[in-house]
Each structure stands twice: as C-alpha cells, then as structure tokens.
Structure 1
C-alpha cells in the first residue's frame, strides 16, 4: 500500500466533508496509516503534527494506551444495546461523572452521536418544554452573528456563517440574530471586557422585544470556532445569564468545541460562573475516539416532560447508537485522564508557551491579530494590517499556508485566512515551537510580494 494508490481509490468512491472535491485533482487527500501522540503518519512514512486535533476532537493523542485499554475491555462484554427500556453501567457511570463536573444545577444527560445532534436535542427540548408548559407562542430562537452550531437543519438554522448556511436558507428556521461580542471589532484601546459589555445592549433589546415568543438563546461560550476563531470576554455570558433569567428564556450553551479544557477551564461557562439551562457537549468527550455527544439539562426542564403516558408530554427523540457502551467507556477513560493527570494545570504552561512562541507574528504586516483563549490560538491574515482589509477570499491565502505546512510535516487546516492552533494536550513545548515556525514561514510564503 502507498499514498498514491489509496488516494486514487479514494477519489473513485468517496465524497469528503467540507470539501470542493475538484481540489483533490491537484491536492490529493493524504492517506494516514497510523497515529501516535500528536503525530499522524502516511503510507510513505512521512509524519504530520496534528495541530488541529483532527477537527478539534483529539485531546490526549492518537493511540492513547489508556483509552485503548478501556475500549478493548468494554468490547469483551458489550458493544451496544438499545437505550430505550435498557441501560448499562458505562452510560450510567458517565452520566454521574458528567453531572459531577458540569456547572452546578445540571442534572440529566441525553445522548446522541455528534455535536449537531446534541444541538438538535437542545433546540427541540427547549421548544417542547414551553409547549408542555402551555406557552405555545414560544417558537423562536436568538443567536449571535457569526455563530456556528452544526450542519443538520435545526443546528444550521441557529448558526450565522453564510458560507455554510446561505444555500439552504429556504429550508431553515429564522432566528433573531444579534450582534456578536467578537472582540476583533473592539475600538483601539478598548478592553475585551468593555467591548463585550457594550455589545450586550443589542442582546438586551432583542430579549426585551421578543421574550414572549423566544424559547432560548443559543451561544458558543467564549470562542466562535468555525466563525474564524473569534473570541469574547466571559462578562458577556454573565450578563446573558442574568437577562435570560429576567425575561424567562432558556440559555443553550454549545460547548461542543470549547468544552473539556479547550478554553482553560473544564467548561467555558465556568469562567463566567454561570449554569446554562442546556449544555451541549461532544468532540473531546471521548478523547477523539468514537462519536458521542450529550445534552445536559436541569431537573426543572426534565420535570416538564415527566407525566402519565396519556398526557403526551414525553420527549420522543432517539438515535440508534444513543449511549453506545464503547463510546461511553472511551469518555470515562478520558475523564479519568483529566482527573489523574492534573491536565488543566499542566495545560497552563502550554498556553503560555503558545503565546510566547507566536508573539512575534503580532507585528507581521499581514497579521491583523494574534488572539488566544486557553488552548486555542488564532492568527488572522489580512491584506492591510492597519485597515484590517482582508485578502479577497478567491485568492485562498490560507490554502497556501495549509500546503506549506503539509510540506513541512504539520496539519494546519485554516478557516479561510485564519491560521489556528488547537492541538492535543499532549503536545510538547518543542512541538509548539515547530508549529510556530511552520506558521510563520507559511504566512510569509502566502503573503510574499504584497
């Protein structure tokens, strides 16, 4: 087996996600034979540092021996069982563990397979709650500009990235979009906290105007990941929790990408000291091993569905692989690593090193900003640093950085012209230095002559 033969077979039968397949005529997909730690290896023996955790899922490295052992042990006993009318020890134990570490007040776990599905659950659960309470006019949602929540139709509806959403607009719900607290747009000298506080006025107006017809506000806490890794201050979440309580509207926190230590705390909501009404988790939940997501909610919401069968109040939502035992075992092993290895404290050193390694890029003539929240760091390439004029999207400058990084042995998949690091937590300081060098060289190559 070699790279070329497998890539040719791939092109005959596969349709890859989030990809213009014609690009593969000149940039074939890279076949991966194995992975170890932060490294992926192709069939020709070339290695690539997985700087984006294989789409933000891998926390503790590829082929992690502890997660491997947990899955292998579970495989000897039970691979799957229907979760309607049945249960099993891994899903019960995982639910207990999640409720123990989640923001206080969340009391029940509903499982699915991926982030979009967890968001669908949260949207339906919130809407259905109000229906069960007799508040039939509540049928809408409030979202943030530049937000992203997944690509199934409900999740896509409450997102706001035109690239993903525009084509499907006739099929979608119409949320009430409000200004994002994205601090990229702050005034010179204005702090993140001040800007995020100032932009909250738009959310307050929307809640005041539409509260009686709104089920919930949906946000990605602290980082709008697919929206170019734009970031904001925790004060916005604190104000939002207060306002949702004031206007009797649910708060849905989409922590699919930012949960499990990505922002520096186990959950991003912790930095604002708040508890959402519904918390969506996924991606890193299983350490990047198997599809599993969850929607955690309060006992108040749970009780609105708890009734005699004839009342027709049950939440009739299901997925075939809900609460899969193998995935739950991987998740339990992942939580064990957090508990046993003092991961969050150890990550603080990596966070500091990432900032130091990329600091010089903040002065690059074609970098508008280097921003960071915990283990997420982003560098925004622009045509003009002073005016922040972007490069024309058709020029695909980010793709040039991606190509350069592959040549050098790094996986840096940009978001447009935003280059970012979101590595597994087992990365070393030396490997961070390597990524910083590759990114710097890639940005130089992509902007040379401008």
Structure 2
C-alpha cells in the first residue's frame, strides 16, 4: 500500500470536512498510516510533526502507551451501555475527577459526544432552566463577534464567523452579538487589559438592555481559536462574571479548544478566577483518542430540573453513545498523565521556548502580530504592517505556508492568513524551534509577492 493508492480510493468515496473537494485536483491528500508521539507517518514513509494536535485534540502524543493500555483493559470489560437508567464505573470516576479539578461550584456532569453537541446541551439547559423557574421570556443568547462554537445549528447560531455561518442563516436563531475584546485591535500604546475593559462597556450596555430576554452569554475564554486565534485578557472574564450575576444571566464557558492546559492553566477560566454556570469540554478530554464531551454545571441548575416525573421538567436531551465507557477510560488515563507528571509546569517551559522562537517574526515586514496564550501561538500575516491591512482571503497566502511546511515535515494547517501552532505536550524544545523555523520560511514564501 502506498500514498497514491490510498488517495485514489479516498477520493472515490470520502467527502472531507472543512474542504472544497475540488482543491484535491491539485492539492494532494496526505494519507497517514501510523502515529507515534508528535509524529505522523504516511504510507510512503514520510514523517510530519503534528503541530496542530490533529485539530487541537491530541495532548500526549499519538499511540500514547498509557492511554493505549487503559483502553485495551476496558475493552475486555465493557465497550458500551445505555446511560439512561444504567451506569458504569468509568463515567462515575470521570465525573468525580472532573468535579474535583474544574472551577469550584461545578458539581454535575452531563455527557455528549462532540464539542458542538456540548454547546447544544448548554444552550438548551440554560433556556430550560429559565423556563422551569418561571422565566420563559428568556429565549435569546449573547455572543462575541468573531466567535465559533461548532457546526450544529444551535452552536452555529451563537457563533459569528461568516465563513461557517452565512450560508445557513435562514435556519438559525438570532443571537445578540457584542464586539469581542480582541487584543489585536488595540490602539497604539493600549494594553490587552485596557482593551478588555474598554470593550466590556458594550457588553455591559447590551446586558442592561437585553437581560430580561437573555438566557446566557457564551464565550470562548481567552482564545477565539477558529476565529484566527484572536486572543484577549482574563480581565474581560472577571467583568463578565460579575455582570452576568448582577443582571441574572447565565455564563457559558466554551473551553472545548482551550481546556486541559492549552492556555497555561488547566482551564482558561482559572486565569480570571471565575466559575461559569456551564463549562463545555471536549477535544483534549480524551487525549485525542475518542469522541466525548461534557457540560459541567452547578447544583442550582440541577435542582431546577429535579422534580416529579409528571411535571415534565426533566432534561430529555440524549445521545446514543453518551459517556461511552471506552471514551471515559481514555479521559481517565489522560487525567492520570496530568497527575503523574508536572504537565503544566513543563508546558510553561515549552511555551517560553515557543515565545522566544517566534519572537523574531514580530519584525517581519508582513507580520501584523505574534500572539500567545500558553501552548497556543499564532502569527498573523498582513499586506501592510503599518495599517495591518489584511491580504485578500482569495489569495490563500496561508496555503503557501502550509504546503511548504508539509515539504519540511510539519503539519502547520493555517487559519486563513494566520499561521499557528498548538502542538501535543510531548513535543521537545528542539522540535518547537524547528517548527518556528519552518513557519518563518513559509511566511517568507507566502508574503514574497508583497
């Protein structure tokens, strides 16, 4: 078996996600045969550093022996069972541990099978809470501009990236968008914290006008990942938590991409010392092994659904594979690795290497910004450095950098004109420096035409 054979078979039957399939008439697929640590290997023996953690899910490398063995052991015991009226040890243990490590007050775990599904759960649960407590007039949601929360219709509706959302507008509910506290848009001399405080005024005004009809505000804490890795200061979350409490509105923290150590702390909300009413987790939850998501909430929300059956107040959302035992076991093994090793401490060291390695790009004539939160770093290419004029998206400058990286043995899949890295935590300092070098080369090539 070789790359060409797999590519031909694939293109005859597979429709790939987030892809214009016609591109593959001239942009070859990369079939992967195996993975080990940070490495992916194709059928022809070429190797690539997985610098994007296979869409941000892989924490401890491919074919991690600890997670592998845990899944093997569980496979001999129980592969799946219905969770309605039944239970199993992996889901109980995982729930206990998640309640222990997430921000204080989050005490109940509701499981789904993807990040988008978790967002759907949080939206429905928030709305249903207000309905059950006699406030059925609360039917709307507030979101930030440039936000992304998933592809199912509810999650898509509360996002604000036109590329994903515009086509499906007639199918979607209408949220109330508020300008994001994006530090990239700071004024000369302004700090990220000052941007957060200035931009929060719009949120305060929106809550004052719409709290009576609003279920919740939903945000991606600190990093709007699909929104070109735009970042903001924790101060915004502090102000938002206080305002949501004051106005009687829930706060939903979508930590699907930023949870489990990505931003430097176990959960991004910790950097603001806040507890949301709902926390959505997925991606790194199972170390990149199996689909699983969870929404954590508090006892106040839980009690609003706890009633006699005849009241019809129960939360009837369900998924066939809810809390699959194999996935829960992978998640438990992932948490074991956090407990066994000083993962967050090691990540701080790696993040510093990432920061130092990418710092020279700040002086590049076609780089508008180099930004970072923990193990997420991004470099934004611009046509004009002084004005930060963007390259037209039709020019696909990021694609040039991506293709160069593949030739150099790195998977650095861009977001438009933004090159970024979000690698597994088992990456070495030397590998980070190599990725920074490859990224710089790719940016040079992508911006060579000015």
- Aligned residue in 2 for 1:359: 359
Q: How does 1:351-430 map to 2 (within 5 A)?
A: 351-430=351-430
Q: What is the rounded CA distance, in whole Å, between the counterparts of 1:8 and 1:140 in structure 2?
A: 47
Unaligned runs of 5+ in 2: none
Q: Secondary structure at the match of 2:107?
A: strand
Q: How does 1:44-443 map to 2 (within 5 A)?
A: 44-443=44-443
Q: What is the rounded CA distance, in whole Å, between the counterparts of 1:382 and 1:415 in structure 2?
A: 13
Query: How far off its partner does 1:29 sit?
Result: 1.3
Q: Which runs of 4+ in 1 moved over 6 A?
A: none
Query: How far off its partner does 1:57 sit?
Result: 0.1
Unaligned runs of 5+ in 1: none
Q: What is the rounded CA distance, in whole Å, between the counterparts of 1:419 and 1:28 in structure 2?
A: 20
Q: Secondary structure at the match of 1:106?
A: coil
Q: What is the rounded CA distance, in whole Å, between the counterparts of 2:136 and 2:245 in structure 1?
A: 19
Query: How far off its partner does 1:136 sit?
Result: 1.1
Q: What is the rounded CA distance, in whole Å, between the counterparts of 1:364 and 1:331 in structure 2?
A: 41
Q: What is the rounded CA distance, in whole Å, between the counterparts of 2:265 and 2:196 in structure 1?
A: 20
Q: What is the rounded CA distance, in whole Å, between the counterparts of 1:77 and 1:359 in structure 2?
A: 50
Q: What is the rounded CA distance, in whole Å, between the counterparts of 2:334 and 2:449 in structure 1?
A: 46
Q: What is the rounded CA distance, in whole Å, between the counterparts of 1:421 and 1:32 in structure 2?
A: 20
Q: What is the rounded CA distance, in whole Å, between the counterparts of 1:193 and 1:446 in structure 2?
A: 32
Q: What is the rounded CA distance, in whole Å, between the counterparts of 2:56 and 2:25 in structure 1?
A: 26
TM-score (norm 1): 1.00
Q: What is the rounded CA distance, in whole Å, between the counterparts of 2:273 and 2:310 in structure 1?
A: 40
What CA deviation, in whole Å up to 9, does each residue of 1:219-261 have, x standing for no partner? Answer: 0000000000000000000000000000000000000000000
Q: What is the rounded CA distance, in whole Å, between the counterparts of 1:247 and 1:446 in structure 2?
A: 47
Q: What is the rounded CA distance, in whole Å, between the counterparts of 1:204 and 1:274 in structure 2?
A: 18
What CA deviation, in whole Å up to 9, does each residue of 1:47-79 have, x standing for no partner? Answer: 000000000000000000000000000000000
What CA deviation, in whole Å up to 9, does each residue of 1:342-368 have, x standing for no partner? Answer: 100111100000000111000000000
Q: What is the rounded CA distance, in whole Å, between the counterparts of 2:29 and 2:155 in structure 1?
A: 28
What CA deviation, in whole Å up to 9, does each residue of 1:144-185 have, x standing for no partner? Answer: 000000000000000000000000000001000001001000
Q: What is the rounded CA distance, in whole Å, between the counterparts of 1:142 and 1:393 in structure 2?
A: 28
RMSD of aligned alpha carbons: 0.4
Q: What is the rounded CA distance, in whole Å, between the counterparts of 2:417 and 2:449 in structure 1?
A: 17
- Aligned residue in 1 for 2:23: 23
Q: Secondary structure at the match of 1:134?
A: coil
Q: What is the rounded CA distance, in whole Å, between the counterparts of 1:240 and 1:400 in structure 2?
A: 39
Query: How far off its partner does 1:449 sit?
Result: 3.3
